[in-house]
Chain A
């Protein structure tokens, strides 16, 4: 009968209007950078230059923080919660209205499949603004004292893996609580944050409440170290998180850090097998594995190891790697050449240390940054690929014999962001959740997010919580 070959089904780029260059969004308007050199942002799927973006130097950072301070003192801080809520609801609705455009832009700049930016990222972004809009006039019921106050100006630095979603996680609670923000998106994925700046204009948000400055590490450092900042919120690598913690030590600044992870995804012999395989795939290959809470360590009970591996490999064979804008793509491009090099390096280390590497046959595009879905078997706790965050589509498989051993192995990591448990036994799920040292424990699912649910880590995965009522506390003075 012939094969069922899916014809290309690309989402149209025409809906997105990318400017050739962008300034910095300070005090409600796009302005030229006064110091710092412009840099280019490329599409990781094709290496095509999408736009030129300004680098904010120390003087620009200072302008942005002062604008935020002024807006905090004159407008946003004194504003009634119900009025702040109106702006947040308006932003949420604008995001929904422009979600198709924003999804395409996100996939272009980040390399993630349009299926994910359309069905996961954008709905969650809007949901986050809607959720925190609802809190803005109910802060006294948030469990942060009878009359909680905002902190002031928040410096927010976000990563490239979920550019717009991380922006929403940072900006929505900050604004709901009455803070103003200066946000720096990652240098490889600034475009949706700049589109969000336009949405702030569209929503008539008072100038200075949200400021978006672009740049790389230097800009971020200048921002978090600026003395006009009251609160620092960072999501990214543990190394940078540590540097931020040091730099603000001894100051009055409050800080929340959401850092790396090396989550254990634990499969018991009585797991619902077909859904477990989907969960393993979703745990590590969602967003090319560029997920801090990715289930990158698969712990399988030895009694079902062969079956799980065989089924996992079969399923990996049906993953579709390619053009992020094709609606049938499951795995898109690696975000940058730098990240690709790191994934390659650690995968090589895995082979050198004696683990067995396997990938399904798949043709990778010649242009752009690509890495096939990969699984390593014969991995032990001592191997680097079982300890270090790879942040790519690479799964390390380990085995265990008893629940206690699963817990020991899962917790035997400097990280503690998330974990997954797969079993049909409810009592075991509850016991495991109480034993695992991880901020999020998923039961019979993985990588599910909701604005009402707090998210954050143990140990080197950071501190503070984002999302839910807990996420407000990070932006309120007790």
Chain B
């Protein structure tokens, strides 16, 4: 099986992580055989559904005002992976989205840029060209997104295509069928193989929590992805309902916090799909702050996979600065 040490060959991916050898070694044992991996994942502490949802609801009641709100809105904008993943996407649509990523609010140059633009592999080159010199990353979904129902060879080739076209970040999907039937080793090996194919490209692993359903599964899949070499764990493709929810994100944040405790490595979290309002985005940031901690309040470690969220953030930002809401027509469609 794939060894975590290989994944840790370049552990300083984020320029901030420190590896504690003991932690990584002990977790390497965990992944030394399918049986051990299975026992480790099934031995993780359970998640009580009622309790997890109550905690998320309690965090949602935080009241973020004035200076705190201004900070949160700007941070949220900088954490957005501005996304278009439609069959109808064209180079024109992607160029428009890139323009929006560079200058989200045409009326206000102080509005920060987003973190990345997320597209299908065949449009990576277009996005890459549009975003040259901006510091905005191009993220590409890969591995037979969104279902992941294809052979490993095709998934690897899909990944290599995206990387060759210039993708800075690859968002892969896990094999949910394999996960749900308990073939954890298969899921692990596949993530590890994509990790190889992606090279040094930032790897986000989409768990598709809407198909995993239980929080116990979310916690296990989070650990599985981290052990297999994920830089980020991501909730959803956006093609399955429910997509990201606050309790699911809470459980994933607990997982990256615990993984950091064990290994010293910082793994990012990306809720994607269904987050449309600034109010919701702020709830997520509060949850990040009070669960994983302030280290994760950074686009290197937390992202929103979203499209319409951006305009609401911009609108609230303008409201905070000027005292009134501009109409929706003052913000660009893409």
Contact = CB atoms under 8 A, between A and B. Distances in A.
Interface string B269-291: 00000000000000001100110
A246 B69 CA distance: 58
Contacts of A271: 45
Contacts of A302: none
A1 B54 contact: no
Contacts of A8: 65
A6 interface: yes
B61 A327 contact: yes
Nearest to A115: B61
A272 B72 contact: no
Contact of B67 (A7, A270, A278): A7
A362 to B, nearest CB: 15
A424 B46 contact: yes
A281 B250 CA distance: 17
A275 interface: yes
A74 interface: no
Interface in A88-134: 115, 119
Contact of B50 (A6, A327, A445): A445
B183 interface: no
B67 A4 contact: no
A275 B65 contact: no
Interface in B43-77: 45-48, 50-52, 54-55, 61-69, 71-72, 75
A9 interface: yes
B48 A2 contact: no
Nearest to A118: B61
B200 interface: no
Contacts of A3: 294, 297
A7 B294 contact: no
Chain A binding surface SS class: loop
Contacts of B51: 272, 274-276, 278-279, 444-445
B334 interface: no
A272 B68 contact: no
Nearest to B289: A4
B47 A4 contact: no
A249 to B, nearest CB: 44
B62 A273 contact: no
Nearest to A330: B58
Interface in A338-366: none
Contact of B66 (A7, A278, A444): A7
A363 to B, nearest CB: 18
A273 to B, nearest CB: 4
B298 interface: yes
Contact of B45 (A5, A273, A327): A273
A6 B290 contact: no
B47 A274 contact: yes
A161 interface: no
A420 to B, nearest CB: 12
Q: Which of A1, A270, A271, A279 has the most CB of B within 10 A?
A: A1
B254 interface: yes
Contacts of B55: 274-275, 278
A4 B75 CA distance: 10
Interface in A1-30: 1-9
Contacts of B50: 275, 444-445
A7 B63 CA distance: 9
A236 B46 CA distance: 38
Contacts of A278: 51, 54-55
A275 B52 CA distance: 6
B68 A7 contact: yes
Given A274-B254, A278-B54, A327-B61, A444 B48 contact: yes
B62 A328 contact: yes
A328 B68 CA distance: 12
Contact of B63 (A9, A275, A424): A9
A318 interface: yes
Interface of B: 45-48, 50-52, 54-55, 61-69, 71-72, 75, 251, 254, 285-286, 289-290, 294, 297-298
The 7 closest A-B pairs by CB, nearest first: A275-B51, A9-B63, A327-B63, A272-B48, A275-B48, A273-B45, A7-B68
9 contacts: A2-B71, A5-B71, A6-B62, A8-B65, A9-B65, A270-B45, A275-B50, A276-B51, A445-B54
Given A4-B72, A8-B65, A328-B62, 7 more contacts: A3-B297, A4-B71, A4-B75, A7-B67, A274-B51, A274-B52, A424-B46
